[in-house]
């Protein structure tokens, strides 16, 4: 009987994905969706051939160093790999993959929701209706900002950034972007390229952040850069919380320099986000649900399994990052 590779699955995955795992592998599943400690991950890895983690598992250098030699791969159920120390994995000979492409549409939808929710004061209005505090209408009641025809600035014009820009064009928005390298004409689609973040920011009525979290992008949106935004700009973040300096953004929200923000990701999420975000009416908050559609979560799982299929067939996985 052919030995099926043992896959440690760190979180409860969609039914269709787990069914494929059971069919093709010998998975160690997590039916209770428990968040494992580093010690538990190391212990559970003792009989596994690969790990299929999510961004909730911190695959630090210290943890990877302690993984047993039988671990051949870490197939992440995520696009971002900031939770996984790639250099540590490389030095230990562990292949690392991610799941690009499949969540671009879903995350771009959330970027549009955040933009509109922040611009039109959606969370304020929703709370008002729920609390039976809506008693009247007047010309000055719940007045927000219109985004149609405004300038939509993107930091990080990768897959998600490009789809978000495409969606913003449906609001007749003028697209500006910063990326590490300029896109080809057909991908740029008439957008205006800026060689630096600093040159981009004055052209952003809405700033949408889509760059990966790296040491270079940590705290990228700081007080000095926020000062370059137009007065009353809107900030949207569906990338990673670490890209934003919380204190700087909160101060700008209080002063009105930034009129509103729509945030799906946070430093210290889920429990240790900056407490002042919860007190500000001009922040539209979501709990990191950028990829949270059934279609997308299934596709992410299939993509991770495609990578594992290639690895255990002795082939190069399509989404190798280390």
Q: Give the residue numbers annotated as catalytic, written as ranges.
A: 240, 269, 288
38 and 10 in contact (C-beta within 8 Å)? no
Radius of gyration of the chain, Cα coordinates, nearest whole angstrom: 21
Name, in order, each residue with C-beta under 8 angstroms of 201's C-beta and a sequence gap of 6 or more.
153, 207, 225, 228, 229
Peptide bond into 288 cis (omega under 30): no
Rounded to a whole number of angstroms, the distance between the first and last alpha carbons of the chain is 32
CA distance 76 to 44: 17
CA distance 114 to 98: 25
Taking the CA of residue 176 as centre, how many other CA atoms within 13 Å lie in the half-sphere pointing to its CB?
20
For the beta carbon of residue 61, count every other beta carbon within 10 angstroms.
15
CA distance 206 to 67: 44
CA distance 48 to 94: 13
Secondary structure (H, E, C), 121-165? CHHHHHHHHHCCCCCCCCCCCCCCCCCCCCEEEEECCCHHHHHHH
């Amino acid at each position: 009987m052919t030995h099926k590779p043992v896959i440690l699955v760190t979180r409860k995955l969609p039914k269709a994905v787990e069914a494929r795992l059971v069919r093709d592998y010998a998975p160690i599943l997590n039916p209770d969706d428990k968040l494992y400690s580093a010690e538990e991950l190391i212990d559970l890895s003792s009989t596994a051939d690969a790990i299929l983690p999510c961004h909730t598992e911190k695959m630090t250098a210290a943890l990877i160093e302690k993984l047993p030699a039988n671990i051949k791969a870490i197939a992440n159920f995520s696009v971002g790999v900031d939770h996984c120390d790639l250099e540590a994995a490389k030095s230990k000979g562990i292949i690392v993959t991610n799941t690009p492409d499949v969540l671009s549409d879903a995350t771009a939808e959330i970027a549009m929701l955040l933009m509109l929710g922040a611009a039109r004061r959606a969370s304020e209005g929703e709370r008002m209706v729920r609390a039976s505090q809506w008693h009247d209408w007047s010309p000055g009641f719940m007045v927000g900002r219109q985004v149609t025809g405004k300038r939509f600035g993107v930091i990080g014009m990768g897959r998600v950034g490009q789809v978000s820009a495409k969606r913003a064009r449906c609001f007749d928005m003028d697209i500006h972007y910063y990326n590490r390298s300029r896109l080809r004409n057909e991908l740029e689609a008439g957008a205006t390229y800026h060689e630096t973040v600093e040159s981009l920011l004055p052209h952003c009525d809405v700033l949408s952040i889509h760059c990966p979290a790296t040491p270079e992008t940590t705290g990228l949106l700081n007080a000095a850069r926020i000062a370059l935004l137009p007065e009353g700009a809107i900030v949207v973040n569906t990338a990673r919380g670490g890209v934003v300096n919380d204190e700087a953004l909160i101060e700008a929200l209080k002063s009105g320099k930034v009129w509103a923000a729509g945030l799906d990701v946070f430093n210290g999420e889920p429990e240790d986000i900056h407490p002042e975000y919860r007190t500000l009416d001009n922040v539209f908050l979501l709990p990191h649900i950028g990829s949270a559609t059934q279609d997308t979560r299934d596709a992410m799982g299939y993509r991770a399994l495609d990578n594992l299929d290639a690895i255990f067939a002795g082939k190069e996985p399509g989404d190798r990052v280390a």
